[in-house]
Amino acid sequence: MIRIVYEHPRVKAMLLLICMQEAWTTTAWMCYGDDGILKIRIHNNAHIQLEDVKNHYVVTTRLTGGRRTCVLVDIRGINYSISAEARNYSRAQCHTRIAKALVVASNLRRIAGIITSLFVKKECPVRFFCNETDAVQWLKTFTPTS
């Protein structure tokens, strides 16, 4: 197990644990599976700022070995916020993703996500799902077969 302590503008010191192919930050849990899919679960009540997103990309680069990956983001049943700066930085990092699936709590949220995404330029395929199984199945269409 590797432990990394780093400085953060809002918190004096935070502990980031990387264990095998999993990592925890103050705002998310991440796991890079043997299937080549990076799964991210945002913590409930997370307030994601630019520094958090920059840290996420450092962590995911370590987990994936710098490879472009398919990403599954699970935001079911949680409340969270993300600053405009953090959202813009994440969009600019599209070169790290092959495709992105967002798992949401309901069809209403899925439809709202689809409508919202129509107004945003996408550099990689993005889809919204109500269950993780369908999201993984879709992402696997972008990964090479073993």
Domain CATH for 87: 3.30.750.24
Q: Tell whether 121 is covered by a domain.
A: yes
Region 125-137: mean pLDDT is 91
Total structural domains within the chain: 1
Sequence length of the chain is: 146
Write out the two tokens for 21. 């192919």
Q: Tell whether 64 is covered by a domain.
A: yes
Domain around 78 = 25-140
Q: Tell whether 145 is covered by a domain.
A: no
Q: Does the pTM exceed 0.75?
A: yes
User: pLDDT exceeding 70 applies to what percent of the chain?
Assistant: 73
pLDDT tens digit sequence for 77-95 = 788 888 999 988 988 888 8
Residue 116: pLDDT band with limits 50, 70, 90: low
Q: Tell whether 6 is covered by a domain.
A: no
User: pLDDT exceeding 90 applies to what percent of the chain?
Assistant: 45
The Cα 121–Cα 131 span in angstroms is 25
Q: Tell whether 17 is covered by a domain.
A: no
In the predicted structure, residue 134 carries a pLDDT above the cut 70:
yes
In the predicted structure, residue 5 carries a pLDDT above the cut 50:
no
Q: Kindly list the distances between the CA atom of residue 71 and the CA atoms of 5, 90, 99, 126, in Å, as whole numbers in the listed order.
A: 26, 12, 6, 10
